[in-house]
């Protein structure tokens, strides 16, 4: 059994060695000249502004939770989709009921202005 993993071990060793050599060589040979542009968080990118740890609106949070819910519940359509032909009309009706219940939840969030940016 473990012999099958030999290539992976070789690859691990090779990548590890390559990374180490690259770091050591650049540290030893590379010229070290500092200037202000090099010290920026994103060199030659957009200038950072403000603190990343600032507070952001709780609205993001609510939308994220709702997104997770509806996103993950849709996973349940996969098993149905795989066997849709076998389940036939019965499966279709069941899936319609399931989506109907999800829809009630969606309407609830909608009517309570959960999607509105206040």
Binding region for another protein (CB under 8 A): 1, 58, 61-62, 65-66, 68-69, 71-73, 75-76, 78-79, 90, 101, 104, 107-108, 111
Q: Residue 91 class from Cβ within 10 Å (0-12 exposed, 13-18 middle, 19+ buried)?
A: middle
Q: How many Cα neighbours within 13 Å face the side chain of 86? A: 5
Q: How far is the CB of 4 from another protein (least distance, A)?
A: 10
Q: Which two tokens stand for residue 75?
A: 């996973």
Q: How far is the CB of 112 from another protein (least distance, A)?
A: 8
Residue closer to another protein (CB basis): 27 or 72: 72
d(CA 114, CA 107): 10
d(CA 63, CA 80): 27
Residue closer to another protein (CB basis): 48 or 79: 79
Nearest 5°: phi and psi at 80?
Answer: -65, -45
Q: How far is the CB of 83 from another protein (least distance, A)?
A: 9
Residue closer to another protein (CB basis): 56 or 90: 90
Q: How far is the CB of 11 from another protein (least distance, A)?
A: 18
């Amino acid at each position: 059994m473990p012999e099958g993993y030999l290539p992976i071990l070789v690859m691990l060793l090779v990548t590890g060695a390559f990374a180490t050599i690259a770091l050591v060589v650049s540290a030893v040979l590379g010229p070290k000249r500092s200037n202000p542009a090099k010290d920026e968080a994103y060199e030659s990118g957009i200038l950072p502004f403000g603190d990343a740890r600032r507070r952001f609106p709780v609205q993001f949070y609510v939308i994220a939770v709702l997104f997770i819910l509806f996103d993950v519940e849709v996973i349940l359509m996969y098993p149905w989709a795989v066997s849709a032909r076998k389940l036939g009309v019965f499966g279709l009706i069941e899936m319609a009921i399931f989506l109907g219940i999800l829809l009630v939840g969606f309407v609830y969030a909608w009517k309570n202005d959960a999607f509105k940016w206040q």
